[in-house]
Structure 1
Amino acid sequence: MSRVGKLPVVIPAGVDVSIKEDQISVKGAGGTLSLGQNILVKVLHNNDKLNFEPANESREANAMSGTLRQLVNNMVVGVSKGFEKKLSLVGVGYKAQASGSKLNLSVGFSHPVDIEMPAGITVATPSPTEVVIKGADRQRVGQIAAEIRAVRPPEPYKGKGIRYADEKITIKETKKK
């Protein structure tokens, strides 16, 4: 039995959850997010808590109850507090500049790389070597951060590139004659 699925999702003040036949919508200060419902999971709305129960005794229903519970919890946290990812640029002359919904990267190519942010995602550069991505949707924030990192992933010999702020890079030893 899923232990994550047994925990209720607490709905904080200022967040409105509406459960329809085919989707769950969460509305708050950070925006509105919606998720399609699964037929294997029953969602019960009690005052300021949401409970998730498997619709039957199958393993798939049990697994989906924990998955759906965590996805809805991420939506509730996203519209109330939001999510953020921090990236750092390591390398001589590597810099980033945010202007509106665009991120301009200079990371050793002969041309600058411009990345357009989708709606609901904001990008900021507190310093030229730091990038902060914020948004309500946890999956989209992580996906955009991964796409930015993929422009110039850290290389294993000097560690130059774009990396997550908490990422540890294992530096390889160079070849010896």
Structure 2
Amino acid sequence: MESHRKKSVTLIELIIAIILVSVIILGINSIDIFSRYHLISSDRRAKLQNDLSYCLDHITKEASKAIGNEAIFTSGSVVLINPNTTLDIFTDANGNGMRDIAGSAPKDKWIRYWFDSANYQLKYYADCTDATTPSCAGTPEILTKKITAFIPSVDFVTNGNYIDVSITGRWNPASALSPDNPEITMQASVNLPSVSTH
């Protein structure tokens, strides 16, 4: 009588197979979690960069309409800066290429960018009074709600007719910086072609 050996899986082989399958499943899961985390972080960073880019584009477009002569009309007659808070710019609103006399119609006007640090907002006032210290009325346009720092600067003596603007934004500005709460700083130098500094 011949004995037939039955082929079967031993307990050791079964345990090794279960371990290998578990390692593969855990590895795939880890890669999935890792990639989703980086996808979310990259997406947030890109959206934040779009917000800040929009703000800088807006400032560049409006500030390029600035008009005046800092030497004739005194310092602060074209650009007024309250450090880390406001950027006021006297603009050629009617596009005639001349600085109009106060009270004449149509008249040039001041515009203002104001960093509301309590609400993390950068606000734009399109129509401010034509005065040495501009005052703005009306409802401002909120350019973004993710700003943590707004640093405009101007140095007509050293840099010529340029404004430098640095904006820092965070995905959730009320929370601390973390890998899932990215922060971005963007800078721009804005040319003021119709502003004379000599």
Query: TM (normalized to structure 2)?
Result: 0.21
Query: TM (normalized to structure 1)?
Result: 0.23
Does 1 or 2 have the higher relative contact order (CA < 8 Å, sep 6+)? 2
Higher helix share: 2
From the CA coordinates, give the structure whose radius of gyration is larger: 2
